[in-house]
Amino acid sequence: MDRRKILLLIFDGLGDRPIAELGRQTPLQAARKEHLDWFAANGINGLVDPIAPGVRPGSDTSHLALFGYDPIQVYTGRGPFEAAGVGIPVKEGDIAFRANFATMDAGMRVTDRRAGRIREGTGDLAKALDGLDLGGGVRVLFRAGTEHRAALVLRGPGLTPHVSDPDPHDEGAKVLSAKATAPDGAATAKALNAFMEKSHKILKSHPVNIAREKAGKHPANAVLLRGAGIVPHLEPLGTRIGMKAAGIAGVALIKGMFRAAGMEVLEVEGATGGLDTDMVAKARAAVDALKKYDLVIVNVKAPDVCGHDGLANEKVRTVERIDAMMAVLKADLGPDTVLAATADHSTPVSLKDHSGDPVPVVVFGEGVRVDDVTRFDELSAARGGLGRILGRDLMPILLNVSNRAEKFGA
């Protein structure tokens, strides 16, 4: 049987809702995207509910599903993926947290969850927190990620993930004290509160923040923590599906998820995880990687950034930049590769957050039953031959199209 390779493109937060300033269209409907539409016209289309209909996915749970795992069974929290993504070797017994550098006022209220989307100096800030002794034998491992993002790992005796988030999740709200959510969470809550107190004292007087304030910028004087979790036990993706797999991403979380799933992480110059990411470079790197790997998964974060920041026209421009990426793939992909393009979730500009709306998907390759859809967008995809599937259904579909599916039964 002619086994083919698979290229899976995940456009983070690409799905959206109708936007008044775009004439009640979504960014996908409003954008000029001849190459994305070409793949739709020459492939089979559908809608994906990353977790289940109406369920608002996180980027972590939705990626697990698109990799073919059941997130309900294997998800232990976002923290361990963030930690792996920034290079912290998480061990059994460690508790990991997702972190943001943020701006807090004198009343402990969050005034900017992303500290002005800080990009410079975060490595120095992280070094000032790394190695802190929180008492009781608990030590801090802290690393900066992409822009305002970071990760915290607590290492020591008696720690569990049974603790509430200090992150209030809203600007204008006070940073919270961590509380145990189960009897065995008391030690972790104590350590977490000690970290919050010590880190604020260090950050507010750090030279990076003093310089930012003098320049009229928001200081990164606080760390917001959420998503406590332990190291997940994932069967390596390559073992599960019998393929040598690699991933390309600019953002630390997704790199961490690739590593947790046993995939090799490929570094691409210009892949930043932000709006300035070089999408064409990612496309060329993916084509090159397919010479060595059977499965390549590419994440593009930029659409999600636009959604969270409420930037409708910028999201349209981002779709058009994605289209330039698709032009490279249209020209350079060989007939031995099956391509799938989708999103991990919708991030509507109107909400500035994830929603439970389904996202479009197209599968292109030799042998695909081409349907009559001619445009790649949320409404057009609903008429496609794939129908409406769950995120964890996509990988089996791709294995089948690439002639790699195992027979069920005799």
CA–CA separation, 171 and 100 (whole Å) = 13
Residue range 94-144, pLDDT digits in tens = 999 999 999 999 999 999 999 999 989 999 999 999 999 999 999 999 999
What burial letters (b/e) apply to 290-326, b meaning 16+ CB within 10 Å? beebbbbbbbbbbbbbbbbeebbebbbebbbbbbebb
409 residue type, one letter = G
pLDDT of residue 188: 95
Q: How confident is the model at residue 1 (pLDDT cuts 50, 70, 90)?
A: low
pLDDT of residue 159: 94
Phi, psi of 189 (to 5 degrees): -60, -40
pLDDT of residue 93: 87
Q: Give the chain's domains with CATH numbers.
A: 5-73+233-401 (3.40.720.10), 82-229 (no CATH)
Q: How confident is the model at residue 90 (pLDDT cuts 50, 70, 90)?
A: confident
Q: Check whether 56 has a pLDDT greater than 90.
A: yes
CB 290 within 8 A of CB 248: no
pLDDT of residue 317: 98
Question: What share of the chain in percent tops pLDDT 90?
Answer: 89
pLDDT of residue 285: 98
- Work out the average pLDDT over 174-183: 95
Task: Read off the DSSP letter of residue 184.
Answer: G
Residue range 315-353, pLDDT digits in tens = 999 999 999 999 999 999 999 999 999 999 999 999 999
Place of tokens 């008696």: 158
pLDDT of residue 248: 98
Q: Check whether 372 has a pLDDT greater than 80.
A: yes
User: Judging by DSSP bridges, how do beta strands 149-155 and 139-144 pair with one another?
Assistant: antiparallel
- Work out the average pLDDT over 46-56: 97
The CA angle 333-336-340, to the nearest 5 degrees, is 65
Q: Check whether 278 has a pLDDT greater than 70.
A: yes
Question: What share of the chain in percent tops pLDDT 70?
Answer: 100
Place of tokens 């599906």: 241
Please name which of 8, 48, 28, 27 lies closest in space to residue 329, comparing C-alpha atoms.
8
Q: How confident is the model at residue 232 (pLDDT cuts 50, 70, 90)?
A: confident
Structure tokens at 329: 């793939």
DSSP H stretches of helix in 99-236: 122-129, 186-204, 207-214
pLDDT of residue 154: 96
Helix, coil or strand: residue 261: coil
pLDDT of residue 77: 83
Average pLDDT, the chain: 95
CB 340 within 8 A of CB 362: yes
Other CB atoms within 10 A of residue 169 CB: 12
Residues whose CB is less than 8 angstroms from the CB of residue 349 and which lie 6 or more positions away in sequence, other chains included: 16, 17, 19, 27, 306, 307, 310, 311, 312, 315
Q: What is the rounded end-to-end Cα distance, in angstroms, of the chain? A: 18
Please name which of 202, 218, 219, 54 lies closest in space to residue 132, comparing C-alpha atoms.
202
User: What is the Rg, in whole angstroms, of the alpha carbon atoms belonging to the chain?
Assistant: 22
Structure tokens at 170: 């809203």
228 residue type, one letter = A
Q: What is the DSSP string of 292-320?
A: T-SEEEEEE-HHHHHHHHT-HHHHHHHHH
Phi, psi of 194 (to 5 degrees): -65, -40
pLDDT of residue 87: 87
Per the model's pLDDT, the better-predicted residue between 374 and 274 turns out to be 374
pLDDT of residue 76: 84
- Work out the average pLDDT over 40-44: 98
Q: How confident is the model at residue 63 (pLDDT cuts 50, 70, 90)?
A: very high
